[in-house]
Homo-oligomer: A and B are copies of this chain.
């Protein structure tokens, strides 16, 4: 008998050689139906693999990333099988699972091609093969034998992949008539796959290198229940409506100009107001936490970036350096604010009493991206980080981490992100030589992060080996209203730049010490954050934040004066309002302004002008009745006050 420890720490005994599927069955029939893969001592495996010794396990279902991964990875194999049947002679490159589904890159036989209208046919074939309940069978294979298999098939892609693997680590999976080089894990058989949808076809270079052959990539998504596919399609429909590029245009938040350049956003008045309000909100919060705002230029001498190492890192693939009429003088667009902040730290001697010193800057940085990679505000070439650098003593790390976590909590609360997780990235304990900084300092820093997260009750996962070479870090992921995950802010410890810039402070022992640096950006960048916020709220920003809180719609031109009077009154009450005094029918005005996502629409005509009242509509909700001007102003101010007091308390 062997001992199997479950996630709730309970221990069960089984015969040696028991499989995940056996364990699931022993717990409940329902679990046996739902389980998709098993994690054994940290390694994700097939459910059918036998367990030979005492182990800690986790059974993964559709609710776990590890479950979905096995499901979609198996679906990629299923699609390959279908294509192998329909387009014999196709060569298969790689076919991974992705965040939402899977793809496979194919090299179709000479003269063949797959277009959108072929996708249905492939889906049908996949369903047919799935119903055959073909088992995914794993075999280990010697490298020579594996090479021989694909040489015979004439698939140079798999041959290239195998040639890079070590002998003894190579496994194949076979289902139905299809065999693929694969690490696994996979589902027990194809019948788990009930709903299939192939979404799109794209071109992709073998290994992402444009010098290689262009392959055909087919994206798909599959589900264990037909109902899940319907939900997925509804969600995609909603996501399309919430696309920040679409809403950004409708609300006139930002635009791009080919003449200015791709990936360089122009913030229109309303977008700039939104961004400024977000920045001011963060400035107020940061001031409370002892941050000092600074302002630094957008370029720097290349020597600065050679010192920091950014020149070496961003060199050839980025914006090139800027020459001047003076010989040998060379500047660079700043890809990061940290080198400038180090120089500000250095401008005068610092004592241990001055630490922590926290420099914040809404610093615009420029990093080159291939034009194909650009996407709205989420992937741009110039963006403004809500950046700050904390220079502190090693013993202050934990306290500073906790304070940054507090700031991030305030932001999530303010902007109604209710679900979030964090990832702690630590050293790879096997490879200490990879990291700069003393092991003692690393121990301190890692412990500081772990303890800070614990004390703040943060829901975290810990990844070994994911730390940067210069320090451990903490990344925040949020879920938006559609359940999509976004990576936002990062808190990064840095032992490297203080070393490179020879930063120092005088300790209480009157000796020179090196401070530790923390990089942190809760929003990440204003561009990316605004994009996420737009998609999360569908453009309906919280009342305290939204650039225009109220729009006043006179029923006809006769009431434009009264509308202006109401607007003036509201502005005096610190409420941001505008008037739509266009010569349009009221129905049209309501429709147009609903689209602008202004939270309140006030309709004013004869009755309202006579009684000094307003007819109130809430955007997306309709009529809310008539109020006196003052009553309405109090109502709005109360709502904002409630929102703000919830944020800060």
Contact = CB atoms under 8 A, between A and B. Distances in A.
A481 interface: no
Nearest to A353: B582
Interface string A245-275: 0000000100101111100111111011101
Contacts of A292: 269, 272
A484 interface: no
B333 A325 contact: no
Interface string A325-367: 1100001010000011001101110000000000100001010
Contacts of A304: 259-261
A579 to B, nearest CB: 13
Interface in A203-262: 252, 255, 257-261
A297 interface: yes
Nearest to A358: B269
Nearest to A341: B266
A344 B259 contact: no
Please classify the interface of chain A as helix (H, G, I), strand (E, B), loop, or mixed, using the class held by over half of its residues. mixed
Contact of A320 (B294, B303, B322, B364): B322
A189 to B, nearest CB: 46
A300 B262 CA distance: 9
B322 A364 contact: no
B276 A293 contact: yes
Interface in A15-34: none
Nearest to A298: B298
A554 interface: no
A386 to B, nearest CB: 14
Which of A255, A331, A340, A347 counts the most B-chain CB atoms under 10 A from its CB? Answer: A331
B273 A293 contact: yes
Interface in A130-161: none
Interface residues of A, number: 58
B297 A382 contact: yes
Given A257-B343, A325-B368, A266 B293 contact: no
A94 interface: no
A10 interface: no
Give how many copies assemble into the complex: 2
Given A319-B322, A344-B255, A299 B268 contact: no
Contacts of A339: 259-260
B255 A299 contact: no
Contacts of A267: 294-296
A304 B259 CA distance: 5
B322 A322 contact: yes
A318 B339 CA distance: 24
A489 B474 CA distance: 47
A161 B335 CA distance: 50
A260 B366 contact: no
Which of A297, A317, A319, A324 counts the most B-chain CB atoms under 10 A from its CB? Answer: A297
A347 B266 contact: yes
A323 interface: yes
B295 A259 contact: no
A347 B265 CA distance: 12
Contact of A294 (B266, B340, B346, B371): B266
A561 interface: no
Contact of A259 (B260, B269, B300, B320): B300
A343 B294 contact: no
A273 B333 CA distance: 25
Contacts of A297: 260-261, 264-266, 364, 366, 382
Given A255-B344, A257-B343, A325-B368, A294 B319 contact: no
A301 interface: yes
A316 to B, nearest CB: 7
Contacts of A344: 255, 266, 268
Given A266-B294, A293-B273, A303 B340 contact: no
Nearest to A259: B304
A364 B294 contact: no
B272 A293 contact: yes
29 contacts: A255-B347, A257-B343, A259-B300, A259-B303, A259-B304, A259-B307, A260-B301, A260-B339, A261-B301, A261-B304, A266-B340, A266-B343, A266-B344, A266-B347, A267-B294, A268-B294, A268-B344, A271-B295, A272-B292, A272-B293, A297-B382, A298-B333, A298-B364, A298-B382, A299-B366, A299-B382, A319-B322, A321-B322, A325-B368
